[in-house]
Homo-oligomer: A and B are copies of this chain.
Amino acid sequence: MEVLEDVQSRPDPRAMIIQRVGIRAVRHPLRFQDRSGCAQSTIAQCNMYVSLPAHLKGTHMSRFIEILNDYADPYSVVRFADVVERMRQRLEADSACLEMRFPFFVQKAAPVSGVKSLLDYEVKLMGEVTPAGYQLTIAVMVPVTSLCPCSKSISEYGAHNQRAHVWVHARTRETVWIEEIIDLIEAEASCQLYGLLKRPDEKYVTEYAYDHPKFVEDMVRDVALRLQNDQRVTWFSVSSENFESIHNHSAYAMIEMEK
């Protein structure tokens, strides 16, 4: 085979560090293991970056895909660091960053009938290794019901309610499971969602939501209080976007806290 020049390895005269270079929007099937211990199959949207020193012209894009294809173990919030470190070493870089976003399913039991069904959440893991060390940010989106206290308070009957997306981003000093974040968000919502509800369940969630009205401000404050009190969490943000049933736009609130 003829020798093809490695153009990316030429020296570069511009003296400009690149903080992130790599590949983006790669879909990849993987298994992900959380608190339950059993690995579920999912499909992640992956971004993989490394830093590039000022004297190098380019990185080696194909190595990112090799790493994805070679890593056959289940992913988890614990093992994520291994893949990021593997990226840093394989690309011979100072820093490496791996972002994966994927649907995560939990089997839930309906509140009265107990019938079981899956609910889908969104998870994003962002792991970064730099000369200063390794940092993982966990993000979980939990869809919930929000019911408006103002609407309830001023109306003779009824209250507008809607689906809302609550995102928590967190950095921790000890392992915090995805399911733990889901649980704490669902505990603070006007009501949690279910895939499957029989009539007695529908009566239950309707009345439960009416009994637990929350402004978008209440939702983020109540979740933030729980995260503030969790000693494992060192930094977090919590936001809620309520897809208002009476408007064609969203209500939104966000709290961020460095502890």
Query: A57 at the A/B interface (Cβ < 8 Å)?
Result: yes
- Also in contact, A245 and B161, with CB within 8 A (given A47-B252, A57-B215, A58-B215): yes
Query: A6 at the A/B interface (Cβ < 8 Å)?
Result: yes
A interface SS class: mixed
Instruction: List residues of chain B with CB within 8 A of the CB of A207.
Output: 155-158
**Copies of chain A in the complex:** 4
- Also in contact, A61 and B251, with CB within 8 A (given A69-B117, A161-B245, A243-B163): yes
Among B5, B18, B191, B210, contact of A253 (Cβ-Cβ < 8 Å): B18
**How does the 8 Å CB contact mask read for A123-153 relative to B, with 1 for contact and 0 for none?**
0000000000000000000010101011101
User: How long is the Cα–Cα vector from A253 to B225 in the complex, in angstroms?
Assistant: 38
Instruction: Establish whether residues A200 and B4, one from each chain, have CB atoms under 8 Å apart when the complex forms.
Output: yes
Instruction: Establish whether residues A7 and B153, one from each chain, have CB atoms under 8 Å apart when the complex forms.
Output: yes
User: How long is the Cα–Cα vector from A250 to B162 in the complex, in angstroms?
Assistant: 12
Size range of the chain A interface in the assembly: 35 or more
Query: A78 at the A/B interface (Cβ < 8 Å)?
Result: no
- Also in contact, A69 and B118, with CB within 8 A (given A197-B62, A220-B18, A225-B16): yes
Instruction: Establish whether residues B155 and A203, one from each chain, have CB atoms under 8 Å apart when the complex forms.
Output: yes
Query: A256 at the A/B interface (Cβ < 8 Å)?
Result: yes
User: How long is the Cα–Cα vector from A66 to B198 in the complex, in angstroms?
Assistant: 11
Please give me the residue from chain B that is nearest to A198 by CB atom. B62
Instruction: Establish whether residues B4 and A252, one from each chain, have CB atoms under 8 Å apart when the complex forms.
Output: no
Query: A119 at the A/B interface (Cβ < 8 Å)?
Result: yes
Which one of A26, A222, A246 has the greatest number of beta carbons of chain B within 10 Å? A246
Instruction: List residues of chain B with CB within 8 A of the CB of A231.
Output: none
Instruction: List residues of chain B with CB within 8 A of the CB of A116.
Output: 69
Given A119-B248, A197-B247, A209-B246, 9 other A-B residues pairs in contact with their CB atoms under 8 A: A4-B200, A12-B221, A19-B254, A22-B251, A29-B105, A57-B215, A59-B217, A69-B116, A162-B163
